Chains A and B, each alone.
Chain A
């Protein structure tokens, strides 16, 4: 009993330390601006700067101990070798100039430098590979996995295979899509959870990242439909089952309809991950906006939201995987509709 109380106290101390570390940075920055009118704008600006993507990686140090500027890793300079020129002199000499655009690309400046969120994706991927290598290490003499990590991964992997893939896609086609679903599930889970650590950022709180993930699901959904209905049946489905002279209207409608599902996947994950962080930040921002005494109210509330965020990180990874499996399953079922149509006519 005493042991568990001690553990709980330690956990609380750790989490409040995390909240303090991320809050202390804002204290430092906002302190520079307070006293002027419109500190609300500064708090909001600060928050959106911190949940957004950036070309620099900033390490915030707790205020009272450290009062100088935060150490930062300037990714634009550190990865300058990844800015390639297809034509000599196409890139501006200033490394901080914005070259993340199609105009720059067509002028011959290929900017492949990572941003903060790309770095977080690499980090999540590396951690995932390491965790899987150690977690799934299989001893030939002892085939039953032992150890907490191995058992935890086995639980999650079996859940994704049996509860998500088989139950949403089917016995025959389901196992084919398990590797993708597992990759998506663990990658999203690791990115979501990493974003909750101090000094880290949430890559899934970026529309481009979630759109990329949803695009992978979109491609697999189309592949599943084509495999099930055949290329001809797939294109026939795109014409909407109307007469030839109505195709100019119906084909854009059906093509647009293909993108509704990945769009929903994109926005759902992005908004869920971003909203929790903004809520935590604004709760802590109340301290600077209203009165320092607000800390007694907003810090416990922020810790509560933080625990909710831990839950949301898992749930959103699950929902993305479940809906991916459901959409792939609907693509697989398209073949049956084709047969039913053929039988009906």
Chain B
């Protein structure tokens, strides 16, 4: 109730963006987890010369962690 009064002067776009921002960050957790896993694995492989094992391992880890964080965040947002 107090929040509604607080953001009265905000434009529609700003209000929608603020409402959406936890969901945007949840989606980024899923996408970014995969990206960090794959890219991190690729560069570590090049650096340590262990092609392709770290790429495979870190991709799986990154994608799983991303999914886990996404689902965790979504279930928490859903409960609210």
Contact = CB atoms under 8 A, between A and B. Distances in A.
Contact of A240 (B10, B11, B69, B80): B69
A249 B22 CA distance: 19
B44 interface: no
How big is chain A's contact interface, by range? Answer: 20 to 34
A329 B18 contact: yes
Contacts of A253: 28-29, 32-33, 35-36, 66, 69
B10 A249 contact: no
B7 interface: yes
A329 B32 CA distance: 23
Interface in A220-255: 240-242, 246, 249-250, 252-254
Interface residues of B, number: 32
Contacts of B32: 253-254, 256-257
Contacts of B29: 240, 250, 253-254, 257
Interface of B is mostly: helix
A242 B72 contact: yes
Nearest to A162: B9
Given A249-B65, A250-B29, A330-B21, A241 B72 contact: yes
Contact of B14 (A167, A241, A242, A254): A167
Centre residue among A168, A240, A256 by max chain B CB count within 10 A? A240
B72 A336 contact: no
A240 B72 CA distance: 10
A337 B35 CA distance: 26
B33 A170 contact: no
A242 B36 contact: no
A249 B62 contact: yes
A146 interface: no
Interface of A: 163, 166-171, 240-242, 246, 249-250, 252-254, 256-257, 260, 326, 329-330, 333, 336-337, 340, 344
Given A256-B32, A257-B28, 7 more contacts: A168-B10, A240-B69, A249-B36, A249-B65, A253-B28, A253-B33, A326-B14
